[in-house]
Structure 1
Amino acid sequence: MAKYKTTDEVLSMSNNISGKVVVITGASSGLGEVTARHLAALGARVVLAARRKDKLDALVAELTNAGGQAIAYQTDVTSQEEVKTLIQGAVDTYGRIDVLINNAGLMAIAPLSDTRTDEWDRMIDINIKGLLYGVAAALPVFQKQNSGHFINIASVAGLKVFSPGGTVYSGTKFAVRAISEGLRHEVGGSIRTTTIEPGAVDSELKFGSTHQQSRDFVVDFYKHAIPAESVARAIAFAIEQPADVDINEIVLRPTVQEF
């Protein structure tokens, strides 16, 4: 007969987040910002990364004033050197890294016939190469520690192509899923890998399109978006599991979302 967990055991599981060092890219707004608040409230030591340093500094002040531990690094994930500096700074400050959340992303929706190659390049640089730079910087740390956890933010658009308009974006998110699965297979054992695949979530992501018709469509599509806290809770669920449990994939979307 299965043994039910006691209240103390459940609380102990939640406390598996307390004290962990969590690096979050794209932390200046939206999902990253909300996740930082949520994890800091659970006792995590958060290392925040984004390009907008003023927003990072304001968030660090908010979290530390509330009794949390937080530091920030101005980081453009398309720069391998800046990502290396971020990871090294986290290790220098806290002595280790337990979790890297590769959250920075861009969704620029437009018809392929518009051939907005600059936006294609930007999505590839941020959504794919930025994630890989994070892996390249953190993986040696995780291997030396013999522990660590990658959490990569993909999308339901990485399960089904979001077209017309989102073909290249979907391509980058399919890549995130492929990289995550390969990473899990190659370095699993003591290092965990989780892919989070949200549907419409309230964030700045919906404003990434410069093609006005596509932007209007996306903003309308997101009118039933769920709060970013929904994704933050899913991330916390993956982190709080015992070390021998690897939550590999979580898909979540608004109940009314068909896609």
Structure 2
Amino acid sequence: MSTALLSGKVVVVSGVGPGLGRSIGTESAAAGAKVVLAARTESRLKEVAAEIEAAGGETLCVPTDITDDDAVRNLVRRTLDTFGRVDALVNNAFAVPSMKPLSRTDFQQIRDSLDVTVLGGLRMTQAFTDALTETKGSVVMINSSVLRHSEPRYGSYKAAKSALLAMSQTLATELGDKGIRVNTVAPGYIWSGQLKWYFGEIAKKYDIPAEQVYQQTADRCDLKRLPEPDEIARAVVFLASDWASAVTGQTLDVNCGEYHV
């Protein structure tokens, strides 16, 4: 899918890995944006950059730890020195906390998750606010459908993502008079490498085909399938674009109908 929704714009993406982060980068580039890729692991940045550039896109890779003030300031400086503007910031970086019952969860694991998922997103937003004010730009926070359920062992993850949502809604209000829009995308299951591996492990445990694990999960969704990374990334592109110019403080669920909000 190639569009011009982001033609002439500069999009900064934090948390670039082989799954959703990669898709946000490639779909933003396909929509016409110059893409700044930020993550701790430089090799991942280069892989995604090579893919985008092979398709004719333009990128900048900046290895960045979003929990470090100096690293984030360097990211802002490198972005403005290279492209002169920022039109959208996509906060995709997160840390999965302990997947244990809250009664047995280590507090430090929760703190580490909040530091990346919530405070990292806030640090990035604060750092890019001046640049986004110049362009009347957009912030898109990547959340999760964990917001919609309270299943066992997801308590720490839900706490972090719920805090991220509350922060995002407040930022939408606080930054609105600067013309900056702040929205959230909440994916459900993402049919990518990590989930495929996990379903494979479940299949081995119960001695059933991996396809059966997939279908049992997908049957809970209206569309009877799971969303793929590119489908979620296109929702991000929409919210980052001028087509969503009157949309702020909202959450767009992308889950093939697993939950209704």
> TM-score scaled to structure 1, two decimals?
0.82
**Partner in structure 2 of residue 25 of structure 1:** 14
Is 2:139–2:240's contact at 8 Å kept on the other side of the alignment?
no
**Partner in structure 2 of residue 67 of structure 1:** 56
**Partner in structure 2 of residue 102 of structure 1:** 91
**Partner in structure 1 of residue 251 of structure 2:** 249
Q: Which runs of 5+ in 2 are unaligned?
A: 219-225
AA aligned to 1:188 is G
1:167 and 2:155 correspond:
yes
Q: How far does residue 116 in structure 1 lie from its aligned partner after superposition?
A: 2.2
Q: Which runs of 5+ in 1 are unaligned?
A: 1-10
Report the secondary structure of 2:164's partner residue. Answer: helix
1:122 and 2:122 correspond:
no
Gap change, CA 1:195 and 1:243, over 3 Å in 2: closer
- How do 1:1-259 residues align onto structure 2 when only pairs under 5 Å count? 14-108=3-97, 109-143=99-133, 145=134, 147-160=136-149, 162-189=150-177, 190-203=179-192, 224=218, 225-242=226-243, 244-247=245-248, 248-256=250-258
Is 1:24–1:47's contact at 8 Å kept on the other side of the alignment?
yes
**Partner in structure 2 of residue 3 of structure 1:** none
Between the aligned partners of 1:113 and 1:206, the Cα distance in structure 2 is 26
Q: How far does residue 171 in structure 1 lie from its aligned partner after superposition?
A: 0.9
- What percentage of aligned pairs have identical amino acids? 30
Q: How far does residue 158 in structure 1 lie from its aligned partner after superposition?
A: 2.5
Q: 1:97-122 CA deviation, whole Å, 9 max, x = no partner? A: 00000000122321123232232122
Gap change, CA 1:244 and 1:134, over 3 Å in 2: same
Report the secondary structure of 1:113's partner residue. Answer: helix
Is 2:15–2:92's contact at 8 Å kept on the other side of the alignment?
yes
> TM-score scaled to structure 2, two decimals?
0.81
Q: How far does residue 140 in structure 1 lie from its aligned partner after superposition?
A: 2.1
Between the aligned partners of 2:227 and 2:25, the Cα distance in structure 1 is 18
Is 2:40–2:64's contact at 8 Å kept on the other side of the alignment?
yes
Report the secondary structure of 1:46's partner residue. Answer: strand
Question: What count of residue pairs does the alignment treat as equivalent?
Answer: 238
AA aligned to 2:185 is I
Between the aligned partners of 2:157 and 2:195, the Cα distance in structure 1 is 12
AA aligned to 1:23 is V
Report the secondary structure of 1:188's partner residue. Answer: helix
Between the aligned partners of 2:111 and 2:195, the Cα distance in structure 1 is 18
Between the aligned partners of 2:54 and 2:141, the Cα distance in structure 1 is 29
